[in-house]
Chain A
């Protein structure tokens, strides 16, 4: 029972990080049908930002603001410098453009900093343990889940109550119609990238508090999981992104904790199982859990 509880909390922790990233991917997909493979690079940007500030005496008290700010700016910069120029291209072109940015980001960090890992201090309280009813938790688990919930609430308020959020949802529904209603395409898209950057920045903080280090290709692994989570949930669906992230996180930790060892040396077999499950899921339900209909008129 204790093991199950701890596994679930772990799973929720990883899953909520996936959820934040997947939400950003789903948001961008909604406004411009781009599956943004450069989204994970925002984590890398956050990590190097933290690294540079810690070189000059940074503190974790204000570091989250710096990380989030850098991610927002970087996200909007990718839109301004690259995606704006291919906006009406096919989804295939858009996806490859984001891949190109991912490659470039790796290359630039390698050239201008180092291909090697750069570490910086972590907050002192992160791995402190405490017990509730005999089950011990890490402080970071609670922080992760709490911050994620708070961020999701902010997201919900922004998209339900503010003009910006409503414009974005309208644009995701039908961009041409939204434009006719006076929604400015540039502003909405650039704002959506900014918000996706904010979500990635929050995720970056949660990731960096646990593993405080910067590395050129660190964003890629997170990105792949987040894309998978977003697609599991149903691209373009906000609820779907969150559910997809949490489901993927739980699936990973549960298989790792409970899958019997097939043979000695199959330590990473659980990863294979997760991907097998994902492949089967897409065969059965290609549109994800929450299907977003893009009914085409014929």
Chain B
């Protein structure tokens, strides 16, 4: 509860500073120059809400959506059909369905109505968007944009078609738009502080590593989508009430791209970036609009030039946006960070053995695993070795749910993990690392570990959970805690991936080649790191490596795979003395 208050406080503080800066700028600008300046600020503020709306989804999940304008449009029309006074409505929309001819709401109720209706529609469609992978969600949102556009243009009883609706009671001044912008800022900030918000960011950083740490792609994307649609709806509704009219031209793909440019130019990953982008692009757009020659009746041409140039330059020179990962909220998070006083709780060693039996996997015609089996006992370190192509990584992937076995079983004590996917495997107590590092690159070292600790707090609450700072200490990463993970050197990245997995409080750590690319001295140091961190959390270890020196030092027990089968197993000395092992490794003459 205490941490909730702290997070809320940070969101409020960050938002307050940003809105104050924008408001000061806007008020200075409108202090002279009259109504046209006021309306520019109104435009900027409603853009502001829309940009933060798409930031919540695109910025946090990394999935591009073209469809958000469709929801702004739905909200704008929903506002119009309940807010236009009855007499005017009877004239403009004589055949309005759903009994809306008798409905008239005040601005607050109309805004709330629009947001609720839009969120319901968005929540239904969001199931499809959040389930899809790769480019499909982007394509679905693009199709949605056109469907809504066509519906609005053709459902004339409800929308009056392409001509649009006017006579929406206008809100006086920009006061309520400032309030809307503040609401948007707090929502966007707070979303990033919530568990699900952090999880969305993890899926953005690595679609494969996040599930392997127990983060469900669908859930985090879906929640981000719904919240983001809610804000977008607020933006659409307020824009309609600020302009007093709606028409389909306000919500085209082009309008959507304008908002997208604002997000991308400032830096989509952070809220400060979204704010900066909105201010810069709105101002630049207006500047170039005034450059147009009104005589030629084609004043829209210069804004296009500006948008194209702004976007192209950003992409070529600074693809992550002007601010990149710099963020007021992130800065506050680091400044306000206080190391928790922890009384170290001794780790409890698990009681359940990890067993894989008779595992068979066939890729096409190639039998990768042919009856492989192994058992890891609690707190034991088991090394898995074998020549290239022996099926080590495949067995790992079977155990962690990434590859489906054709026969055999995987069990953790009494839990059957045979058919479980990566998320459930991780949540039930197996945490893995990857052969080719999969860190959350742009997040800080501490955030990488803290993210898994969040999963653990939710799904591994029955275990004693390690403290994030204790883990950082154990891996010697405390001094780098605020650096982004991608900037660490190779050995430290390996150690970070190790403690990120350990933060899940797993019963077993599964390490796929933790020393690959390391020097001999570094490998030796890794033996101690792995052993001490496993002891810290009371976990057993299953480790693949090519470095026989490393494996024989670290393992209590070694399993040798060859051609998908177990060739030999035993203590390191027994395995070393086994002639069959030497033969598999070195050829028959050995």
CB within 8 Å of B: which residues of A?
A: 35, 82, 85-86, 89-90, 92-93, 95-97, 99-108, 110-111, 114-115, 224, 227-228, 231, 235, 265-269, 271-272, 275-276, 278-279, 282-283, 286-287, 296-298
Q: Which residues on B sit within 8 Å (CB–CB) of A111? A: 301-302, 305
Asked if residues B140 and A283 are in contact (CB atoms below 8 Å), the reply is yes
Asked if residues A271 and B131 are in contact (CB atoms below 8 Å), the reply is no
Residue in chain A with minimal CB distance to B153: A268
- Distance in angstroms between the alpha carbons of A103 and B304 in the assembled complex: 6
Q: Which residues on B sit within 8 Å (CB–CB) of A275? A: 143-144, 146-147, 150
Asked if residues A104 and B134 are in contact (CB atoms below 8 Å), the reply is no
From A85, A107, A227, A297, contact of B302 by CB (8 A): A107
Tell yes or no: B402 within 8 A of A by CB: yes
- Closest Cβ of chain A to B162, distance in Å, is 10
Q: Which of B43-51, B178-186, B307-315, B347-355 contacts A (4 or more CB under 8 A)?
A: B307-315
Binary CB contact string for chain B from 287 to 309 against chain A (1 if under 8 A, 0 otherwise): 00000000000101110110111
- Distance in angstroms between the alpha carbons of A224 and B256 in the assembled complex: 15
Residue in chain B with minimal CB distance to A264: B156
Complex interface residues of chain B between 8 and 59 (CB less than 8 A to chain A): none
Q: Which residues on B sit within 8 Å (CB–CB) of A95? A: 64
- Closest Cβ of chain A to B319, distance in Å, is 4
Number of B residues near A (Cβ < 8 Å) is: 49
Q: Which residues on A sit within 8 Å (CB–CB) of B140? A: 279, 282-283
Q: List 22 A-B contacts (CB under 8 A).
A: A82-B316, A86-B316, A89-B319, A96-B311, A103-B307, A104-B304, A105-B308, A106-B304, A111-B302, A224-B142, A272-B146, A272-B151, A276-B143, A278-B139, A278-B143, A279-B128, A282-B136, A282-B143, A283-B131, A287-B134, A297-B436, A298-B393
Q: Which residues on B sit within 8 Å (CB–CB) of A114? A: 298
- Closest Cβ of chain B to A232, distance in Å, is 9
From B147, B161, B397, contact of A279 by CB (8 A): B147
From A93, A107, A269, contact of B304 by CB (8 A): A107
- Distance in angstroms between the alpha carbons of A108 and B302 in the assembled complex: 9
Asked if residues B312 and A100 are in contact (CB atoms below 8 Å), the reply is yes
Q: Which residues on B sit within 8 Å (CB–CB) of A235? A: 135
- Distance in angstroms between the alpha carbons of A107 and B435 in the assembled complex: 48
Asked if residues A286 and B302 are in contact (CB atoms below 8 Å), the reply is no
Asked if residues A96 and B308 are in contact (CB atoms below 8 Å), the reply is no
Asked if residues B147 and A101 are in contact (CB atoms below 8 Å), the reply is no
Q: A269-B150, A271-B150 are in contact. Are A107 and B135 (CB under 8 A)?
A: no
B146, B264, B298, B512: residue with the most chain A Cβ atoms closer than 10 Å:
B146
Q: Which residues on A sit within 8 Å (CB–CB) of B133? A: 286
Tell yes or no: B154 within 8 A of A by CB: yes
Asked if residues A107 and B305 are in contact (CB atoms below 8 Å), the reply is yes
Q: Which residues on B sit within 8 Å (CB–CB) of A269? A: 150, 154
Asked if residues B62 and A92 are in contact (CB atoms below 8 Å), the reply is yes
Asked if residues B435 and A297 are in contact (CB atoms below 8 Å), the reply is yes
Q: Which 5 A-B pairs have the closest CB atoms?
A: A103-B308, A286-B136, A104-B308, A100-B311, A107-B304
- Distance in angstroms between the alpha carbons of A99 and B264 in the assembled complex: 12
Q: Which residues on A sit within 8 Å (CB–CB) of B153? A: 268
Asked if residues B315 and A96 are in contact (CB atoms below 8 Å), the reply is yes
Q: Which residues on B sit within 8 Å (CB–CB) of A224? A: 142, 253
Asked if residues B319 and A86 are in contact (CB atoms below 8 Å), the reply is yes
Q: Which residues on B sit within 8 Å (CB–CB) of A89? A: 315, 319
Q: Which residues on B sit within 8 Å (CB–CB) of A108? A: 305
Complex interface residues of chain B between 303 and 338 (CB less than 8 A to chain A): 304-305, 307-309, 311-312, 315-316, 319
- Distance in angstroms between the alpha carbons of A272 and B558 in the assembled complex: 62
From A97, A227, A297, contact of B312 by CB (8 A): A97
A86, A89, A103, A268: residue with the most chain B Cβ atoms closer than 10 Å:
A103
Tell yes or no: B434 within 8 A of A by CB: yes
- Distance in angstroms between the alpha carbons of A204 and B131 in the assembled complex: 37
Q: Which residues on A sit within 8 Å (CB–CB) of B142? A: 224, 228
Asked if residues B139 and A110 are in contact (CB atoms below 8 Å), the reply is no
From B154, B260, B298, B319, contact of A266 by CB (8 A): B154
Q: Which residues on A sit within 8 Å (CB–CB) of B481? A: none
8 new A-B contacts, CB < 8 A, other than A103-B257, A114-B298, A298-B438, are: A97-B315, A100-B311, A102-B308, A103-B307, A110-B298, A110-B300, A265-B161, A287-B134
Residue in chain B with minimal CB distance to A262: B154
- Distance in angstroms between the alpha carbons of A298 and B401 in the assembled complex: 12
- Distance in angstroms between the alpha carbons of A266 and B307 in the assembled complex: 35
Q: A100-B311, A265-B156, A275-B146 are in contact. Are A283 and B128 (CB under 8 A)?
A: yes
From B147, B435, B436, contact of A272 by CB (8 A): B147
- Closest Cβ of chain B to A92, distance in Å, is 6
Q: Which residues on A sit within 8 Å (CB–CB) of B260? A: 96
Asked if residues A296 and B208 are in contact (CB atoms below 8 Å), the reply is yes
Asked if residues B316 and A97 are in contact (CB atoms below 8 Å), the reply is yes
Asked if residues B154 and A279 are in contact (CB atoms below 8 Å), the reply is no
Q: Which residues on B sit within 8 Å (CB–CB) of A287? A: 134, 136
Asked if residues A272 and B136 are in contact (CB atoms below 8 Å), the reply is no
- Distance in angstroms between the alpha carbons of A279 and B141 in the assembled complex: 8
Tell yes or no: B132 within 8 A of A by CB: yes
Q: Which residues on A sit within 8 Å (CB–CB) of B308? A: 100-107
Q: Which residues on A sit within 8 Å (CB–CB) of B307? A: 100, 103, 107
Asked if residues A93 and B319 are in contact (CB atoms below 8 Å), the reply is yes
Asked if residues B435 and A279 are in contact (CB atoms below 8 Å), the reply is no
